[in-house]
């Protein structure tokens, strides 16, 4: 099923720098992803895409993994999936990380953890409130998840939403505050709580970039109607490694 929240058009093959950046962005937004899928979405030849991906791998900006086998095992080698490394994500910017970390450390020293949480709530409120009307107007949790993905993409999170099993999976392929959230997980926790409030249902974070996963992944169960009270879980039912594998394999929770 086509992801909601991202939009890609054909990229002219004549300019190596722009083309490599376009390939890297697709690895960022949809990785782990095959080279063939990148070629199809960008309107490039598979050979050209592999050349750019090989260069990204050689520079330490991308890595590969074997795609999970589905159904009966064949004799051929499994397809390769590619995604950006932390170094690769850096090309899309992590501005003012050191300053932000220093400021939050000072805030924690002066006001304690509750002061950090208050800041995190204020930040996520400013992020989502301008999109609240468009999201809550949707008829069910699936449509609200799609609207949230569009809103997050507009805010720089390269988000997508897709149907998985009994719910929707919201993926954020870029986190502008990942380095800060690695030290201050309150940023992730309040963001998850805000998602539950917006979507009107229990949500569960399965993986986060701040913890070292490839993608921030949130499971959103289907609901018949908007719940009167939203619940949130920040405690995964899987290990980080299992969640990462699950994200690359569709992310459906157990």
Domain boundaries, the chain: 16-90, 98-248
Residue 69 DSSP symbol: P
pLDDT at 189 > cutoff 70: yes
Average pLDDT, the chain: 81
pLDDT at 243 > cutoff 60: no
Query: For the residues 174-196, what does the mean pLDDT come to?
Result: 92
Separation of CA 22 from chain center = 17
Model pLDDT for residues 66-90, shown as the tens digit of each residue: 887 665 555 667 788 999 887 888 7
Helical H segments across the chain, by residue range? 16-30, 35-42, 46-58, 86-90, 97-128, 132-136, 141-154, 178-183, 186-199, 240-248
**What local confidence, expressed as pLDDT, does residue 73 receive?**
55
- More confident position, 47 or 17: 47
**What local confidence, expressed as pLDDT, does residue 23 receive?**
93
Angle between helices 16-30 and 35-42 (to 10 degrees): 120
Residue 77 DSSP symbol: P
pLDDT at 125 > cutoff 70: yes
pLDDT band with cut points at 50, 70 and 90 for residue 7 = very low
Calpha distance 35→53 (Å, rounded): 8
Supply the pTM of this predicted model: 0.60
pLDDT band with cut points at 50, 70 and 90 for residue 147 = very high
Residue 223 DSSP symbol: -
Average the pLDDT over each of 106-115, 167-176, 206-215, 228-237 and give the range with the smallest value: 228-237
**What local confidence, expressed as pLDDT, does residue 233 receive?**
54
Which residues fall within 8 angstroms of residue 91, CB to CB, at 6 or more apart? 21, 24, 61
Q: Could you tell me if 149 and 159 are in contact, meaning their C-beta atoms sit under 8 angstroms apart?
A: yes
pLDDT band with cut points at 50, 70 and 90 for residue 248 = very low
Longest dimension (CA), the chain: 62
Q: Could you tell me if 174 and 28 are in contact, meaning their C-beta atoms sit under 8 angstroms apart?
A: yes
**What local confidence, expressed as pLDDT, does residue 66 receive?**
86
Q: From 1.10.10.10, 1.10.1040.10, 3.30.1330.20, 3.40.1710.10, which CATH number describes the 16-90 domain?
A: 1.10.10.10
- Closest by CA to 214, choosing from 244, 181, 234, is 244
Q: Any idea which fold 98-248 has?
A: H-NOX domain (3.90.1520)
- Closest by CA to 27, choosing from 45, 8, 14, is 8
Calpha distance 55→82 (Å, rounded): 12
pLDDT band with cut points at 50, 70 and 90 for residue 175 = confident
pLDDT at 113 > cutoff 90: yes
């Amino acid at each position: 099923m086509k992801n909601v929240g991202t939009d890609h058009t054909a990229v002219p093959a004549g300019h190596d720098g722009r083309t490599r950046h376009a390939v890297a962005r697709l690895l960022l937004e949809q990785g782990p992803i095959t080279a063939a899928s990148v070629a199809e979405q960008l309107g490039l030849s598979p050979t050209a895409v592999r050349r750019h991906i090989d260069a990204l791998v050689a520079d330490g900006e991308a890595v590969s993994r074997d795609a999970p086998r589905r159904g009966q095992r064949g004799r051929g080698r499994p397809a390769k999936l590619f995604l950006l490394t932390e170094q690769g994500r850096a090309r899309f910017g992590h501005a003012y990380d050191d300053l932000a970390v220093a400021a939050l450390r000072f805030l924690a020293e002066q006001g304690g953890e509750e002061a950090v949480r208050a800041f995190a709530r204020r930040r996520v409120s400013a992020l989502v409130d301008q999109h609240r009307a468009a999201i809550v107007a949707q008829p069910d949790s699936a449509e609200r998840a799609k609207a949230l993905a569009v809103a997050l993409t507009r805010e720089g999170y390269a988000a997508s939403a897709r149907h998985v099993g009994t719910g929707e999976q919201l993926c954020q392929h870029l986190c502008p505050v990942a380095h800060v959230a690695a030290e201050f997980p309150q940023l992730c926790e309040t963001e998850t709580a805000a998602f539950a409030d917006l979507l009107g249902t229990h949500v569960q974070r399965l993986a986060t970039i701040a913890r070292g996963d490839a993608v921030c992944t949130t499971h959103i169960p289907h609901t018949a109607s908007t719940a009167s009270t939203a619940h949130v879980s920040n405690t995964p039912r899987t290990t980080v490694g299992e969640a990462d594998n699950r994200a690359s394999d569709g992310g459906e929770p157990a």
